[in-house]
Amino acid sequence: MLVGFLIASVGTVRADDLLVGEFSAETHPLVRDTPEPPSRQQIVTMLLSEARFAFSGMIYGFNFNYTPSDPVRQVKEVFDLTPIAEVPWGDPRLSVLSTRSTADLFFAQITYRPADFQVFRLQGWQSNSNDHASGSGSASYLLGTPGRAAAVNAAIKNAIREYVRAREYNRPREIRGSLALLDPPRIGVQRGDYFAEVRIALDIRAILPYTVF
């Protein structure tokens, strides 16, 4: 459950393959790069960037390599998430439909109308042929805006880890595959951290075990 205020996407609906999400951000963040609060245009630009990430992740997805940590073998955790493709910045099909604000938050309803080839990819990811997983993750609020992305990255990694943990008895050496977001991530603030929740579609191509000599 998200505790505190919601500061990122709060949902997506599809009508005639139009992706619609409501994204939000603080109007007076405690951690910022400048003494003054961000302007309306700066907030809109940031939310458009987050929407671009979310919609790209839903349409195209990501490739990933994940090495779980193993203290016994002195192996450090490594998680690499690479976009397969991205909605280009400035794409005219990505637009702000409406905005609203409260004392603390600015909301933007952002839409993206995929081209036919993108609709095909989107439908492929959201079909029942892929396994689904969910996860949550956090990052320090003191990171500022980058902490939002870090929390989402952690949530995606944890979704993969919990999915594999439920199916593999032994800790794997490496997990490889691809995934897509089923919805835009949800982000909030919880006990001094950014906290994110994600739902993903998974296509795991390899689970590599440790070799026993």
Question: Does the residue 40 lie in any domain?
Answer: yes
Write out pLDDT tens, residues 99-147: 999 988 899 999 999 999 999 999 999 888 899 999 999 999 999 889 9
Q: How confident is the model at residue 5 (pLDDT cuts 50, 70, 90)?
A: very low
Tell me the pLDDT tens digit for each residue of 149-195: 999 999 999 999 999 999 988 899 999 999 999 999 998 888 889 99
pLDDT tens per residue, range 196-210: 999 999 999 999 998
Supply the pTM of this predicted model.
Answer: 0.89
Residue 205 is predicted with a pLDDT of 95
Residue 49, classed as helix, strand or coil, is helix
- Given a cut of 80, whether residue 12 has pLDDT beyond it is no
Bridge-based pairing of strands 174-181 and 62-67 is antiparallel
Alpha-carbon distance 161 to 163, whole Å?
Answer: 5
Residue closest to 144 by CA, chosen among 25, 52, 48, 19: 25
Domain presence at residue 183: yes
52: containing domain? 12-208
What mean pLDDT do residues 29-36 have? 77
- Provide the CB-side half-sphere exposure for 180 (13 A, CA): 22
Total domains in the chain come to 1
Q: Let me know if residue 6 belongs to a domain.
A: no
| pLDDT band with cut points at 50, 70 and 90 for residue 3 | very low
Average pLDDT over every residue of 25-35: 80
Provide the pLDDT for residue 10: 44
pLDDT for residue 188: 83
Q: Within a domain: residue 79? A: yes
Q: Write down the pLDDT at residue 16.
A: 62
200 is a domain residue: yes
How many angstroms separate the CA atoms of 19 and 113, rounded? 6
Per DSSP, the chain holds a count of helices (H) and strands (E) of 3, 10
2 falls within a domain: no
